């Protein structure tokens, strides 16, 4: 029964995504699931500028057709539909929602591994001794997952719409459940959360799948991700371990929430005056810069999470 409900909800979300500036979560699965193997074998892409000539709804169809022709000329592992999705995710903008001309980033090639398009460093030396680390960057509205300092997965997310709703700090993944009804829903409504992993038990903050705006914080405090990313994390991260009396004896996978919400729409790449492109992700050089987030982190060492 739960899978039937889930399928109906997924079709509804896909319909909404087609009409608004939100991520089409089923469509991007073929792209974001390709993040496997040693990161040292993945070559980062280079970026070029392209002027998208949107000018209202009538011109948009013509501009998209022209842009698709441009994508056809770029070599890579993907079909035009997936190339378009990669560009939209990189620019944090659904092109069918544009109503003006816009300079956008386009890769010079389309390798299969999605980590090639990542704003996160391939190697994070501060986390080199940690089996796993999940980073939530509120400013870019992205996440990066590391194993012994090596990037294994990344993607877009949406945190609390107010800065205090998803408080920065060091946490650990605690418990998980495939499906949960949100406690924040107003009377008479049901907000259905899937692939839920909690990291702040006291106030109920989780990473989970839900409707995902492409470039703005929108939740009541939880961290929304696209469906394939939520599924991946559900199976990748480890939860806490307690004894029979309920005492915490080992923390789950460390989670680090950093920085503050962006002042406007989120981006993870920035054009530079000389034409190059700069990542907007900034990871702390010292974990002590980030405060411990909750009582669970006091009960057992944060970095010892598995």
What are the chain's domains?
Answer: 17-116 (no CATH), 118-304 (2.40.440.10)
pLDDT category of residue 12 using cuts at 50, 70 and 90: very low
pLDDT digit string, tens, across residues 98-149: 777 889 999 999 999 999 999 999 999 999 999 999 999 999 999 999 999 9
Band of residue 90 on the pLDDT scale cut at 50, 70, 90: very high
The SS3 call for residue 92 is: coil
Q: Which of 249, 290, 277 is nearest to 127 (CA)?
A: 290
As a whole number of angstroms, the distance between CA 110 and CA 295 comes to 44
What kind and span of H or E run contains 269? strand 269-271
Q: Is the pLDDT of residue 8 over 50?
A: no
pLDDT at 126: 97
- What is the Cα 164 distance to its own chain's centre? 19
* DSSP helix/strand/coil, 30: helix
pLDDT digits (tens, 9 = 90+) for 197-242: 999 988 889 999 999 999 999 999 999 999 999 999 999 999 999 9
Is the pLDDT reported for residue 28 higher than 60? yes
Confirm if 206 and 198 have CB atoms less than 8 A apart.
Answer: yes
What CA–CA distance (Å, rounded) separates 52 from 62? Answer: 10
Q: So what's the pLDDT on residue 56?
A: 60
- Distance, first Cα to last Cα, the chain: 33
């Amino acid at each position: 029964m739960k899978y039937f409900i889930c399928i109906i909800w997924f079709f509804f979300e896909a319909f909404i995504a087609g009409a608004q500036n939100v991520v089409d979560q089923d469509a991007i699965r073929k792209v974001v699931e390709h993040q496997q193997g040693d990161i040292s074998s993945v070559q980062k892409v280079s970026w070029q500028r392209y002027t998208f000539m949107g000018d209202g709804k009538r011109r948009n169809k013509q501009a998209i057709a022209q842009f698709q022709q441009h994508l056809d000329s770029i070599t890579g592992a993907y079909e035009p539909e997936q190339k378009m999705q990669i560009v939209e995710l990189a620019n944090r903008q659904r092109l069918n929602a544009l109503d003006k001309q816009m300079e956008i980033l386009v890769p010079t090639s389309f390798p299969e591994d999605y980590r090639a398009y990542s704003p996160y460093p391939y190697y994070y030396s501060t986390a080199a001794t940690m089996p796993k680390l999940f980073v939530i960057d509120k400013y870019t509205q992205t996440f990066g997952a590391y194993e012994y300092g090596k990037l294994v997965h990344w993607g877009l997310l949406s945190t609390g719409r107010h800065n205090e709703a998803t408080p920065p700090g060091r946490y650990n993944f605690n418990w998980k459940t495939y499906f949960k009804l949100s406690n924040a829903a107003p009377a008479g409504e049901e907000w259905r959360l899937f692939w839920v992993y909690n990291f702040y038990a006291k106030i109920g903050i989780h990473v989970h799948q839900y409707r995902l705006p492409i470039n703005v914080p929108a939740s009541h405090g939880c961290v929304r991700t696209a469906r394939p990313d939520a599924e991946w994390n559900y199976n990748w991260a480890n939860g806490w371990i307690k004894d029979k009396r309920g005492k915490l004896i080992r923390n789950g996978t460390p989670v680090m929430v950093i920085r503050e919400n962006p002042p406007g729409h989120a981006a993870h790449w920035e054009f530079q005056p000389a034409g190059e492109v700069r990542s907007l992700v900034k990871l702390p050089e010292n974990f002590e810069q980030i405060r411990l987030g909750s009582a669970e982190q006091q009960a057992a060492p944060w970095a010892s999470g598995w």
